[in-house]
Structure 1
Amino acid sequence: MGKAYCHPAMKQLKDQQTRYAPKERRLEQVEKAEQLLSEIDQAKRYPYDYVCFRITGFRPDAWSALMLEGHEVQRDLRLFVEDLSATVRQPVEQATEPVLTVGEVSKKYNVSTRTVTRWRRQGLVARRFVIDGRAKVGFLESSLERFVADHRGQVERGSKFRQLTDAERDEIIRRARRMSQFRPGEVGLVEIARRIARKMARSTETVRLTLKSYDREHPDRAIFGPSTTPLDDDAKAQIYLRHKMGVSAEVLATQYHRTRTSIYRLINEVRATRLLETKLEFIDNESFGLTSSRKTILAPLPAPADGKPPRRPRAPKGLPPYLASLYEVPLLDREQEAHLFRQMNYLKHQAVALREKIDPAKVKTTDLDRIEELQEQALAVKNQIIRSNLRLVVSIAKRHVGPSNNFFELVSDGNMSLIRAVEKFDYARGNKFSTYASWAIMKNYARTIPEENYRRDRFVTGHEEMFEAAADNRMDEHEYESALKRMQEAIKGMLDRLDDRERLIITSRFGLGGAAERTLEQLGRELGITKERVRQIESRGVDKLRKIAGEQKLDLPML
């Protein structure tokens, strides 16, 4: 039986009792847990503090708002009983009722020990006793009788098991060959075994092992072909990528000698692995565990507290379209701000809770879809918060602009600080986000601006100041932008006299001809050279442009 608890709270409870409860108390808790297990309805939900109280007699401070699904409680209680009983090391002679070992259950019901192990996964409660000086799995007679009463049909089928006759074996092989040829590549060994077992009143495992044995003994006439080796991570990633590009699962199944079902399983495995590798953080809140809070948290954005429509300040004249558009987004009041932050973190909390439960090798597509949906919803709320506060970045950047600091680079840097602030802000403390974000942005400027000035002084080549010195301290950034545009128009006609690399760097650095402005580091990665080498080529190109401007008697103050 697997040792993974459905919820860490139950494992934590087991660890606490193992560490602190005396032996007699642990044995009593095992009895209470098994009694509670017989009362659990897997279709219902149970508060964790109720489960803990039934076992230990006290209600916990932690996990008090946690709700557990009934089927999860059943699994965790079976693990709890087995794990905690193992720490007691109770001699089988001291048990209050008869105890049967795995072998004795096997003989009593005329089933294999593998079938008994399967019964344990399906709900048969096991404890650990000291039998003949060794710790072994045992079943109380009452627990066994309760399982048999709940699974009578299954137990009877197992008890009536008989060896396959040659005729039955031939019939299984005939049916399997016909099914595999009818829809090749779409139905695999397990599915065919399941269908044959249903028609012949046999267990799926019996049919599957029969077919595997036949293929092994008759490789020249094998129904399912030679067994394929497990695919490595690169092959799985390739299957995932090709499926995203539109290649059907049927085609992939044929090319990789797999069934269509196994291809879908591999795709989900890669998808789940990549999803789990993506870091997802949130600020927790005790209300997130309350079912009653869900409707309130996910409600639409409330109207302003004063009842007035959102105020949209008029954008200052002369702003570029990008900056002017920021003033079209209405500001948030304190209640609206808290609502959005609570909603964003709640959606992330829900996504993380689902992510902790999935096993990449067995995950369902619906679970992955739900997780991605929650993450996308959280991102949409986050973007709404960011858009409502972008003008704050512009306001702070304007106060830090200077002759050596590009206004738009300050805005870009400030936007990154704003995004990090949204991730780290705890709305439950009652502070206004603008106060927290302003502090984060100014703190970042206080660190990055001196560093940038140091780098300029450290790596100066003698030509950078030709662009910077022309900026008048009395100019605001809008006047500077107008002068820059005039300079760009004049330079366009001279670019043909530069070599290809110089032209690319000058064009990209200053956004000439509609090109997007790029940093030294971005250009260095594209050209395969260092950032300092890009700076030197840029300076050389500027020097050439300056010389050409002198020859043509062009008045370009920026040069």
Structure 2
Amino acid sequence: MVWSSTTAPSSFSEIDLPKAPRFLASVVDALHHDLRFAPDDTKLRQMNAAEELIGRVKPEQLYPMDFVVYRVTGYRPETTDFDTTLVGKALIRDLCIFVQTLSAEIDLPMQSERGLAIPLDQVAARLGITRRTIQRRRADGLVLHWVRDESGRRFVGCFPDSMDRFLESCPVNMGSRWRRVDQEERAELLSAARLLHESTGQSLDAVAGELAARFGRSRSTVRRVLRADDRQNDTPLFDTHGPLTSRDACVCIRAREMGIPVTSCAERFGKSSSALHRAMLRERVSRLQALPLRWSVLPTFNRPDADQVLLGLDVVERGLPGPDLVVDIREPLASCSEADRERMVVASHWLLARASSVLLELDQQPDASQVDAVESDLRWAGRLRGAIVRQGLPAAFQACEHSLGRPVWGLPREEARRWYQRCLQACWEVVDALEPRLSSRLESRCIAAMDRLLATRKPASRPRAAARHDSDQLQFAWMHRQLVMWPWLEPDHHWISRRSRLQKADHDLITERWGCDGLRPLRVQELVRKHGGTSTAMQRKLHGLEVQLRMNRLS
């Protein structure tokens, strides 16, 4: 659908819409706060990135905050402050407010390559709703901008492509969709629903579908009225939960990680345990499919023995930084040859390509072994890129030393930790975009990345004496979960370090599963072939051990 306005409005009010409400998510609020002194081109770039993300967000899906930061800014957060998730509907609302607020801070003309922005009166007429209702449509993805006309007056308007994108996901007759259900219509709906349910025994969703067609309402509106009535009554008409949503699946995943049995979740939602397992599996796939994976395609990838040629090497399977790694930044890192480094770069690209290929082939109800294979490949690719990052760290430290006038480990502990994290992030971004044929330029690119970062640093007023540290004060946990795009697939350092309290067989199993002690992470099927048993028994065993480690239920 293509829509545009052909005539410019004659006059506008400077105050065309009330002040945008506050953000629901602290991460979006922080993104806006960080831009208060940024130049206009930076604000415009992040505003456009946020608007593009709005069109990709699904209202019922949960999104990790570090993923939102990455998609808006292009950078991944260094800390764990954003280890939370936000439901898509709330994220859409906040991103719409983010776009509108940023547009008010820059000089945005009403006529651009996107077309001619129209004021709210024409937007309301186009949608068949009132101006007051427009303010509530931000939660549905209606993106508005502050723009300036030729006379210099500012107003809130909507660009044609924003309107087209909004109309693609919403009915044309918006007025009928948003007409409020009054008490008389509500009583008629409830009476008809009671008669239909008592006579046919249909579920809530089936009754809502039949009544929606009869009353000219959407299925979701009727369902919402019926559920609201059931919540208010001591004897609800319907006792079913309805289809499991993405949010329900995320709740089940989190509960299972905390050791709550799936049967308890099944009783809570009124579903079978198998239905919950299927919903959790679909949610895992949705998270994986939302990842912006990038890789380079090489001729070797087309070989039938690509797995053996590219992955059957010691440098690819051993000596990899895992979640249990503790780094002393004063200790020099062992370097590897350029050939081995190129092998690691190629292997990481192949793992990403292989994982993406499997994701494309998954059907609506995927197999658990296929999903586990994708997740294991991503973990392995992350370990390989971490090993390459460690090869570039000395060069990054050297750039810091030239700028700071002393080694990083000569700074106070907290300042040394911050610079260590900055060096890691800068090197990771270099490795993330590193092509196999350019692997020999790793050090020079890491130095250039740090030079760009150091150029924005305010020089110290006067030099300070070098700090003295005890032997363990400059030891930091490897920041793997803060670097990769899939932090939910990686174990936390705190609970994985407790595996030393397990029995040896259990300790070795967890080590192989998660890739500790420098090993690559193994799939469930690989563990079954190595230790015997069935996939189901192995998954139950691993889950029980992981719950003990997470919840610290070790004897």
Q: How does the TM-score come out when normalised to structure 1?
A: 0.36
Larger RCO (CA under 8 A, 6+ residues apart): 2
- Whose helix fraction is larger, Structure 1's or Structure 2's? 1
Name which one, 1 or 2, has greater alpha-carbon Rg: 1
